[in-house]
Amino acid sequence: MEKRVLEVTNGYWLNPQNGCLERGHRQMMATEGFYLADRGTIIHLLDNRYRYAVACYKLEMADKYIHTYDYAPEQIWGTYQVGSLQESFMDEDYIFNDRCYFRVCLRRMDGETITSDEAANVENIISVKSLGQSPMPKVFWDEVQRVADKVKDIRSEGDLVLAVLTDTHATVNGTWQDTAANLKALQEKVSFDGVIHLGDMTDGTVSKAMTRFYVSSMLNDLNKLNVPIHIVLGNHDANYFHGNPESMSLHEQAELYQGDVAKWKQDKDKTYYFVDYSQQKLRCFYLSAYQNESRPRYGFDLTQISWVRETLKEVPKDWRVMIFSHDAPLAELDPWSEEIRNGNLLMQALDSSGSRILGHIHGHAHADFVYQWRGRKIFPIIAIGCAKCEDMTERKVKGSFTPERVFGEVSQELWDILVIKNSGKMHFVRFGAGHDRNI
């Protein structure tokens, strides 16, 4: 997910204490993205009207990002090398002694304001020779074969097979490239019918431009599977986290995350829609469970609930229904929110369809759990753990399961292949940490 072409933004500076971007420095410009350097990579200044400084980030990352509730500043799993960013800017070549990620900050010698035109023409100001090559993604072939064999044993003609993952929280130097490669390897063996991502593709702590770059890169990886990709919006997808001033509206999110599914959407400007699988006589609802401008933020607006209620009435009587959303519809299933806006109204609308609903599948919980509303066996509400390599035990629903994760081993992965049988039975075949579930 690192950048390959040097791009800078005017008005940004890199703080030498932590390597993070700071706004409001008119005579500066800096790279927002991270670049990979190998030992011997050279940075060369082309225009003497400027000086530059380099910030370096080690490839090693802190364990706290896996085992506690903590998100890496500016979405890199690396460690800033304090002191690597020189207090005095330079004009001589910079040669890297070790493989690392880096950023560059430039300033004008005359103290004048740097314009956006200057930033757009940075290739005439500074150059980088021999950027580092990203490591090959790690494919866990034994796990690929195990899951493929299990799916083949379960699958019958006419079954619907979907890859379902959630809460990837992708970062530079993280595990996303491995996840994408393992999905591709498994797809080549079992040929699933689609992919559903239940939201929180990234942390949502960087600028809109960088989030668009990261998400577009991830969607490009998923589109290589050559199956329909359905993205359910999560709270982090609103790009608001850690006080980010560049939050995204629902319209912006619809364009970025769901632009490729416009042909299925009943209204392209909405962030919720349904898709029919005629062969399986199944209608899947992809709902929107977060709105940053509303209070409470987590929940479902009344227009959406009315749409769900009316659309359920139109489902043929011999069809079944599946519900997908990022957050659960009930506060008792979300330790981060005391109230789910209109959650009970949604449940009442779903309850009216009774046994036709096979299940409501959600993410956000970063844990596995199966819940029956009010103890009634109308339909299960099923949580899937996070694809992000994380096993924190804070803020978890009682009775839920958070498997141990190890970075670099197969347990760094966590996602399911969902096989929906013609009988309505659901088999969740786990790839990576955790267990299979049959519901």
Tell me the pLDDT tens digit for each residue of 164-194: 999 999 999 999 999 999 999 999 999 999 9
User: What pLDDT does residue 3 have?
Assistant: 67
- Name residues of the chain where pLDDT drops below 70: 1-3, 87, 354, 375-376
CATH 3.60.21.10: which residues of the chain? 141-438
User: What pLDDT does residue 222 have?
Assistant: 98
122-170 per-position pLDDT tens digit: 999 999 998 888 889 999 999 999 999 999 999 999 999 999 999 999 9
Give the pair of three-digit tokens for residue 10. Answer: 């005017």
User: What pLDDT does residue 262 have?
Assistant: 85
User: What pLDDT does residue 374 have?
Assistant: 74
CATH topology of domain 141-438: Purple Acid Phosphatase; chain A, domain 2 (3.60.21)
206-243 per-position pLDDT tens digit: 999 999 999 999 999 999 999 999 999 999 999 999 99
**How far is residue 218's CA from residue 170's CA, in Å, rounded to a whole number?**
9
User: What pLDDT does residue 354 have?
Assistant: 66
Of 429, 439, 148, 423, the residue nearest 280 (C-alpha): 423
User: What pLDDT does residue 280 have?
Assistant: 97
> Mean pLDDT across the chain, nearest whole number?
95
